[in-house]
Amino acid sequence: MKVLFISHYDNMYGANRALLSLILGMQESGAHQPFVTLPAEGEFTEALRKAGVPYYICDITQWQAIYKEPVSFMIKKQKRKKQIAAELELLYAHYRNVGIDVIHSNSSVIGTGAMLAEKLGCMHVWHIREFAQEHYGMEYFYPEEQVRKYYEQATCLVTISDALKDYMREKYPSARVLRIYDGVDAAEIPERTGDADDGAKTEENSKTEEIVRFVYVAYLFPKKQQLEVLQAAAELKAGGLTNFRITFAGTGLAPYEKKLREYAKKNGLSEVEFAGFVSDIPGLLQKSDVGLMASAYEGFGLVTVEYMLAGLPVIGYESGATPEIVTNETGFLYHDKEGFKDAVKRLVWDRELRKKLGEAGRRRAWEYFPASANTLAIRKLYDSLQADGL
């Protein structure tokens, strides 16, 4: 079958990294032919060119946006709906004679794939990767009944966690929903060797000289709760804990990033680094000791699996899909700031615990979240659709 994948952004954040792994795995199998549409040239298109995957550049406008106040949202709604209509015509003209069998939308924040599938008369597989309303505060530009229609007439909604599956089934009971975990190619994330701090001391030496490095890879956005991490760090430092470092890797909303930087500066948090977008995630994890996932309503957390593959214990906020990945054998789940601080202190002072949790995490990631399992499950989905003649 010919499968058209649609992504609404061009860089290599989690959703596109998962999508690229899927596309390359499907291409290698030869069972289905991938095509890709995305809004701009970038790292993603470089990888597609290298693999010989055909792609088409076209603006992909989100059919949801962050809701702040009624007047600005109404103005944005009218503009965005016109943009989507224009993009739909461009995509239809480009693909109407290609013979696309399935459109695969890579996120719930775009509805273009559902509309194009209806126009082309083909199947639509919709990857649901996020709690768009709860996590990002988004609202749809289209009436509720139209949104419901597109979700419930989709051939299949593929959620990346049980938390999202339950959420979509409750909201759209007539939809066909299937959970397929995202996966990570373990070969791309080598296990960390030893402690990240080259100057780490043995048990006989002063523990205060051992620097424990925490890393949080995420888009800079309020619901990712980087500010809460900073607040906890400031309280830990005020309480006398100074032998830790926290690296925030990622870009995001400029006002929020400014707020984070100003808070760190105001509170004298020299232990905190803002690294911006980091392309070499495996290299960053090699220099780290503990992974952080503080996000509320996390749809899955690809980077959480990457932490574990690198042998890092994880401190995760008990929300969304994070409890499906992190267990008490691989890290700590917390509910509030005090729980977060307790977890940090335990891991700062207990090297053997870090090692034990990290090793268990790597085994769990290998077993439950391999990229090969994700690719195989979606290939089987396509095979079943083809066999059923849907």
**What pLDDT score was predicted for residue 389?**
62
- What whole-number distance in Å separates Cα of residue 40 and Cα of residue 11? 9
Low-confidence ranges of the chain (pLDDT < 70): 194-209, 389-390
Which run of H or of E encompasses 314?
Answer: strand 314-317
Q: What is the pLDDT of residue 66?
A: 83
Residue type, 229: V
CA 290 and chain centroid, separation: 18
Q: List, as one string, the DSSP characters of 115-155.
A: HHHHHHT-EEEEEE---HHHHH-EEESS-HHHHHHHHHHSS
Give CA–CA dist 19/5, Å, rounded: 8
Strand, helix or coil at 312?
coil
Task: Tell me the CA distances in angstroms from 102 to 95, 110, 335, 350, one per residue in order.
Answer: 12, 16, 41, 51
Record the tokens describing residue 156, joined without a space: 């299949």
Contact status, residue 386 vs residue 380, Cβ threshold 8 Å:
no
- Provide the residue type at 94 as one letter: H
Amino acid 224: pLDDT: 95
Sheet of 331-334: strand order equals 272-276, 244-249, 212-217, 290-293, 314-317, 331-334
Domains and CATH numbers, the chain: 2-183+370-388 (3.40.50.2000), 188-368 (3.40.50.2000)
| pLDDT at site 200 | 44
In this structure, the strands spanning 331-334 and 102-105 are unpaired
Spatial separation of the C-alpha atoms in residues 229 and 215, rounded to whole Å: 11
Please answer whether residues 344 and 244 qualify as being in contact, where contact means their C-beta atoms are separated by less than 8 angstroms: yes
- Determine contact, residues 291/262, Cβ cutoff 8 Å: no
* pLDDT at residue number 197: 63
| CA-CA-CA-CA torsion sign (314, 265, 263, 242) | positive
Q: Residue 199: what pLDDT?
A: 44
Q: What is residue 3's DSSP assignment?
A: E
Residues 6 or more apart in contact with residue 278 via CB below 8 angstroms: 217, 249, 250, 284
